[in-house]
Structure 1
Amino acid sequence: MTDLIWTLLFVQVAVGAFDTVYHHEFTERLAWRPAQARELRLHGVRNLVYAVIFVALGWSRPQGAAAIALIALMVGELAVTLWDFVEEDRTRKLPASERIVHTLLTLNYGVVLALLVPQLLKWATLPTKITPAYNGPWSGVCAVAALGVVASGLRDLAAAGRARRIILSDPALLAEALQGRRAILVTGGTGFIGERLVAALVGAGHEVTVLTRDRAHAAGLPAPIRIVTALDQIADDARLDAIINLAGEPISDGLWTGAKRRRILRSRLRTTRQVIKLIERLRTRPAVLVSGSAIGWYGLRGDEALDETGDGRDCFSRTLCVRWELAAQPAAALGVRLVTLRIGLVLAAEGGPLPRMLTPFELGLGGPFGAGRHWMSWIHRDDLVRLIVHAIATPELNGPVNGTAPEPVRNEAFAAALGRALGRPAFLPAPAAPLRLAFGAFADELLLSGQRVLPAAALSAGFRFRYPDLDQALAAIVGRMTPPTAPSPSRATPLEARTN
């Protein structure tokens, strides 16, 4: 074979490896998305086919029927790839970079076929046999590529099998506390929390309006819903029984540069102020506004146990949350019951902080951040959705409400629990100094420090968690247990947790 063919094969390997690592593992995290089971199976089959092709080309000279079989295998790989493209477009929204990479891979593979098939057809005229061959450094490249695609293919097939065990509970069950048919506005309804919340409310038969800047972002939401791109599209005489305000720039998807901090703050204040203006002009005002906040409101407090009566300590997270909550306060003066939900670390495989941890922990490379002694106040996403619904349905619930499970854990305990859930060791710490160097204040506030927050208000208002225990929550998320259909009794009250 010519150096041009070898070079194009190397390009195929390099670009394919980038696509797998950057898109499939770290951006889209396909291995932990149950809806992508068929796509994962296609990836697995395609990678194993690639392994055979790399070994055959790098270490042998196929002749006769063997050459014909190799041609058929390469054409079959193209058919699998086209099927994969259809499946991807059907089940998920591909980022622009992934579409570009797929286009480059397809074009390059087409050129490889055009150059290689004539050579294989010549070999096909010879007596059938497979002669061992060494092609210098290119044989080494093919061996490494074959090992890589075998590992990736087996991982994808295993992930596809695991997807059958990752069962999301019926979202309608998450909204069973809210009786009757309510008209509810959700801002941030296309986000990680909002998407599950909207599915729960729609599944329970409520009339849901979703605010989103781009209608295309709401394409995956269940029907029937009403979509608005601005709150002024809601008429003054519209009926809204409740408003849930979750909109805001993601806080943990990039460095906290000055521009990023301004976007984080402005996005929350802008939407919250628009919600207040909507309430002011509605002829019949909603009974309740559940407005987002976060446990960052308390600042960095070490080992101190904190309920809703706790004070705060200044840092960026606290400044953000204080201003966010203050922006929602006029609702109370307008006669609307205001619940400010101070949300902790929300756990689910589809988003939040957990997906970034799953792959390294699954590979046995996980461990605590820094010394691992700081607290992590977490909540399963389904429990958070249920808590939001509970806040709407409970007139006595007012003011700040901590959206955290009743049993916060230290970071080292969290790492150990995730390792147990995945059946992997979790002893490789991420040193504090490199994290601070890479992420700055973001690392200090969200990776190396935390708060020990207790949901006193929620428990006092009769809320019961389905996932009060971290091991139980993680086991359900990774498919090691069936999600419960009824709440579990919380094992410790806030007072008991403080004394343990």
Structure 2
Amino acid sequence: MDNPLLWILISIQVFMGAFDTLVHHEGTERLAWRPSQKTELRLHSIRNFFYTVIFLCFAWLEPHGAFTIALTAILGLEVLITLWDFVEEDMTRTLPGSERINHTLLALNYGAILALAVPYLWVWSALPTALVPVSYGWWSVMATLSAVGVGLFSARDLLAANRSERLTTGNPATLVAQLEPRQRILVTGGTGFIGQRLVQALVAGGHYVTVITRDPRKADTLTHPVRIITSLRQIHSADRFDAIVNLAGEPVANGLWTAQKRARIIESRVETTKALDALVQRLDHKPACLINGSAVGWYGLRQDEKLTEASTPCPAFVHQICEAWEQSANKIAEQGVRVVILRIGLVLSAEGGMLARLLTPFEFCGGGILGNGQQWMPWIERDDLVRIIAFTLARHDITGPVNATAPEPVRNVDFTQALAQALNRPAFLRFPERLLARLLGDMGRETMLGGQCVLPTLLQRRGFVFAHPKLAPALRVITGARSCTSERKAQERRA
């Protein structure tokens, strides 16, 4: 196998495979944290194991006789596994265009590798059975490093597939069980991270849901039956809604706060809410309630001060966002609609939000403390947030701002330690405040280095029971830790 072209093709295969794994499987698609991809992960694990054997054999050994037949069988099985994988992917997820292109190139390149390797395999198969040591210099080193890489990901994918069984989120209908009788609910932001779970719970609970989205393609991820509209103009004045849940808005912490970004963040929230105000004005039957999103950022950056719904704000851009949104929502109350403003903390789930972005770095020992680690992180588990939405919809005595956070906020250093323990990984890194502020500007200073010690005073007074009141057990359940069984049972009892 001293053919330079063959080794070049093998190198290209390694590069494209690494790109597919790191960018698609670990990056955009996050397969290791999607329970639906358990079978795909197992197929990847088997295929990566085959590649480990192939690379090591090509690097240092020349198989003869029966060993050649065994290697040929492995090369053939890799093709069958890949075909099975293609079918599994098409049945369980929508592949991005770049992944489809990459898969096509991988298949073509692998075919070229086999075409060049077949003459060698044919000659070796006729020789007496033996494993002859060989070396191809740097090509052998490259193949060995590739074998180590795919071997690690083979083990990682197998462990992730086994963990998938512990990532189940239970029956979503139980999250809205207190919401009776059946409701007609309009949801904005229904294709987002929080909205998808809310819609899933409402549909499972037998409610009638209308979702407004600018991109109908995103509606493919929703649980049906759901009415999908792309504009509020599609709603007739005679249509009836019992409630509106308004969660739509430009993401806040996904990029630098340029002047244009700041404007989009505020306008996306205010304009949608103004449009809802106009809708309510023309409806023949006005909804009884509006549940409007906001965030704990309304309070500004408050260090160690304990904050309730009665606390006053401090200046900050995050306060400007929330204040503008809340003011536009409160105007709807002038039409006799009960308005509840949910000041939401950091929403935790393996399926999206801040935590989803942290899981892969923490899994690969890249997690660490932000700044001095003393900033407060008010948090809420996603299903608890859905339960809060249902609770405030059902309770007619709740109006105005409501802190939608768990009863025990934590500091960043404690959050980092709890997540590392849930994943059974060390978190020894520190990200200096000066570095984060320089790289991320005001976005980093306000969303990562600033914080608020927010308490859900009103919810607790009204008797709301959190399924996840403490961070460490919640993270063990969310991440599917092996020790999460007892926490999940305790959660079910509280819910």
Q: TM-score, normalised by structure 1?
A: 0.95
Q: Offset of 1:462 from its aligned partner?
A: 2.1
Task: Say whether 1:162 aligns with 2:169.
Answer: no
Query: Partners in 2 of 1:258 and 1:133 — Cα distance?
Result: 61
User: In structure 2, what is the equivalent of residue 495 of structure 1?
Assistant: none
Write the deviation string for residues 49-80 of structure 1: whole angstroms up to 9, x where unpaired: 10011011111112223223222212221221
Letter in 1 for 2:379: W
Q: 1:14 is matched with which residue?
A: 15
Matching of residue 485 in structure 1 with residue 492 in structure 2 = yes
State the match for 2:427 in structure 1.
426
Equivalent pairs: percent with the same residue?
A: 53
- The equivalent of 2:378 in structure 1 is 377
| SS of residue matched to 1:395 | coil
Q: How many residues align?
A: 488
- Structure 1, residues 10-51: CA drift from partner, whole Å, max 9, x if none? 111112112212222232222122111111111111111100
- Aligned positions of 1:26-175 closer than 5 A: 26-175=27-176
| Counterpart position of 1:407 | 408
Deviations 1:146-201 (A, max 9, x none): 00000011000001011112221210000011011110011111111111101111
Deviations 1:358-384 (A, max 9, x none): 222223332211110000000000100
User: What SS is found at the alignment partner of 2:190?
Assistant: coil
Give 1:51-450 correspondences, 5 Å limit: 51-450=52-451
SS in 1 for 2:360: helix
SS in 2 for 1:37: helix
Distance in 1 of aligned mates of 2:316 and 2:103: 43
SS of the counterpart of 2:275? helix
Once residues 113 and 171 of structure 1 are traced to their aligned partners in structure 2, the CA distance between those partners, rounded to angstroms, is: 48
Residue 491 of structure 1 is matched in structure 2 by none
Using a 3 Å threshold, how does the CA distance of structure 1 residues 82 and 434 change in structure 2: closer, same or farther? farther
> Cα 1:107–1:455, aligned 2, differ >3 Å: closer, same or farther?
same
SS of equivalent to 1:116? helix
> Cα deviation per residue 1:397-430 (whole Å; 9 max; x = unaligned)?
1011111101001100111111221222223222
Shift of 1:349: 0.4
User: 1:268, 1:115 → 2: CA distance?
Assistant: 58
For residues 282-307 of structure 1, the C-alpha deviation after alignment (integer angstroms, 9 at most, x for no partner) is: 00000000011111111111111111
Range 47-56 or range 113-122, more displaced: 113-122
1:336 deviation in Å? 0.4
> What is the CA-CA distance between 1:439 and the residue it aligns to?
1.6
User: Using the alignment, how far apart are the partners of 1:82 and 1:15 within structure 2?
Assistant: 17
| Partner deviation per Cα, 1:257-280 (whole Å, 9 max, x = no partner) | 333323222222222122111111
Q: Is the 8 A contact 1:304 1:452 kept in 2?
A: yes
CA distance in 2, matches of 1:309, 1:114: 73
CA contact (8 A) 1:45 1:153 kept: yes
- Gapped regions of structure 1 (runs ≥ 5): 489-500
Task: Give the letter aligned to residue 97 of structure 1.
Answer: S
Any conservation in 2 of the 1:169–1:485 contact (CA below 8 Å)?
no
Could you tell me whether the CA contact under 8 Å between 1:166 and 1:478 is conserved in 2?
Answer: yes
Q: CA deviation at 1:92?
A: 1.8
Tell me how far apart the structure 1 counterparts of residues 310 and 493 of structure 2 sit (CA, whole Å): 29
Any idea what the Cα deviations from partners look like across 1:307-337, whole Å, max 9, x if unmatched?
1111212222111111111121221001100
Deviates more, 1:343-352 or 1:223-232: 223-232
Contact 1:396 1:461 in 2 (8 A): no
Match of 1:493 in 2: none
Give the counterpart letter for 1:105 in structure 2: L
Instruction: Out of 74-83 and 255-264, give the one that drifted further.
Output: 255-264
Separation in 2, partners of 1:220, 1:436? 36
| Distance (Å, rounded) in 2 between the aligned partners of 1:152 and 1:363 | 11
The structure-2 alpha-carbon separation of the partners of 1:439 and 1:128, relative to structure 1 and needing over 3 Å to count, comes to same
Distance in 2 between the 1:262 and 1:102 partners?
39
Instruction: Indicate conservation of the 8 Å contact 1:407/1:469, yes or no.
Output: yes
For the residue of structure 1 that corresponds to 2:182, the secondary structure is coil
Q: Please give the root-mean-square deviation of Cα atoms over the aligned residues, in Å.
A: 1.5
Task: Verify the 8 A CA contact 1:68 1:121 in the aligned structure 2.
Answer: no
Quote the Cα distance in structure 2 between the aligned partners of 1:342 and 1:215. 28
Name the structure 2 match of 1:494.
none
Equivalent residue, structure 2, for 1:5:
6
Letter of the structure 2 residue corresponding to residue 304 of structure 1: E
Q: Secondary structure at the match of 1:179?
A: coil
Q: Which amino acid aligns with 1:487?
A: R
2 CA distance for matches of 1:448 and 1:442? 9
| Maintained 8 Å contact 1:346/1:353 | yes
Preserved contact between residue 34 and residue 164 of structure 1 (Cα < 8 Å): yes
CA contact (8 A) 1:391 1:397 kept: yes
Tell me the secondary structure at the aligned position of residue 181 of structure 1.
coil
**Distance change in 2, residues 1:40/1:388 (3 Å):** same
1:101-154 CA-partner distances (Å, limit 9, x unpaired): 222222222221222223222322322222111011000001100000000110
**Residues 187, 244 of structure 1: 8 Å contact kept:** yes
CA distance in 2, matches of 1:349, 1:79: 32
In the aligned structure 1, how far is the partner of 2:265 from the partner of 2:78?
45
Greater shift in the superposed pair: 92-101 or 129-138: 92-101
Gaps of at least 5 residues in structure 2 are: none
Letter in 2 for 1:186: V
| SS of 2:191 mapped into structure 1 | coil
Bigger shift: residues 366-375 or 97-106: 97-106
